[in-house]
Amino acid sequence: MTRRRWQGRLIRLLRWVICGLLVVAAGWLVEVHTVVNLGLGKYQAGEWEAARTRFLVADRVSPFERFKPAFGDGTSMLAAGHPGDAEIRLREALTRVGTGDNNNQCLVRVNLSYAIELQGDKARTDALYTYAIERFTEALALLEDENCAARAVEPETTRKAAAAAIERLKQKLEQTQQEEQQQGEGQEGQEGQEGQEGQEGQEGQDEDEEGESETGDPTLDKALEKLREQTEQGQQERGDNQAHLDQRSKTDPDQPIW
């Protein structure tokens, strides 16, 4: 009788322990889900650092959908204007998505390609055309390799963002390649022109000294002419950069997708 009572008590105790563990696990999962949602809420409110704090907490405790905290953290950095740091976290998020999960693969790839694209834009503005081409090519491959513009990709916002990015990147690649070619031709022409100007300047130096000049000093006249050329070139470059920025505002997204 005593043994049966002891066994009954043990069974009841085990039941209570199991129920307690289930309650704790359920509460933990609810808390993880809540932290992720809080991060998303902060992101949507434009509070990027606060959003990152929530996602970093979720990254330490979340056992499921491990890509989401890293994706949220990287996307928050991207929205805050730090594409280089965002690229690192979004690449980490991409490694956590299952290879067969095409929807989430493309979700991460769209924002990752955007982070890389922004770095390509900066290189292009700085006339680093070769590096810009490498970045645009890499960003384009991220989307095309997974066929992220396909009809099968859900949700529609991901599919549309991928299709728009692919078209935009192709245009930038073509334009940047043309700019790189023009840069090369311009350098060759400038070198030839400088050589010719140097020879002509040496031959006509005596004539210039005898003729009329702007300041009476041939060396100063030449420096002033060089300054005018640089000023005109700088104005042209600023105009080109402004045109690029104006075009970007019409074609590029203001923020990454979620």
* Structure-model confidence comparison of residues 9 and 158, the more confident one: 158
Percent of the chain with pLDDT over 90: 45
pLDDT (tens digit, 9 = 90+) per residue, 105-129? 999 999 999 999 999 999 999 999 9
Q: At what angle do helices 218-251 and 156-203 cross, to 10 degrees?
A: 170
pLDDT at 135: 98
pLDDT (tens digit, 9 = 90+) per residue, 153-165? 999 999 999 999 9
Query: Is residue 243 packed enough to be buried (19+ CB in 10 Å), middle (13-18) or exposed (0-12)?
Result: exposed
pLDDT (tens digit, 9 = 90+) per residue, 38-68? 777 888 888 989 899 988 888 887 777 889 9
* Structure-model confidence comparison of residues 212 and 169, the more confident one: 169
Q: Could you tell me the pTM of the whole model? A: 0.69
**Considering Cα of 171, then 161, then 74, then 112, what sign does the dihedral take?**
negative
Whether residue 249 is predicted with pLDDT greater than 80 in this model: the reply is no
pLDDT at 161: 96
Q: At what angle do helices 102-125 and 83-96 cross, to 10 degrees?
A: 160
CA-based end-to-end distance of the chain: 64
- In 3D space, the residue among 76, 60, 59, 77 whose CA is nearest the CA of residue 68 turns out to be 59
- In 3D space, the residue among 67, 111, 109, 72 whose CA is nearest the CA of residue 92 turns out to be 67
Is the Cβ–Cβ distance between 257 and 157 less than 8 Å? Answer: yes
Hey, what domains does the chain have and what are their CATH numbers? 66-189+245-251 (1.25.40)
pLDDT at 11: 62
* Structure-model confidence comparison of residues 28 and 150, the more confident one: 150
- State the DSSP H helix or E strand holding residue 70, giving kind and residue range, or none if neither: helix 67-79
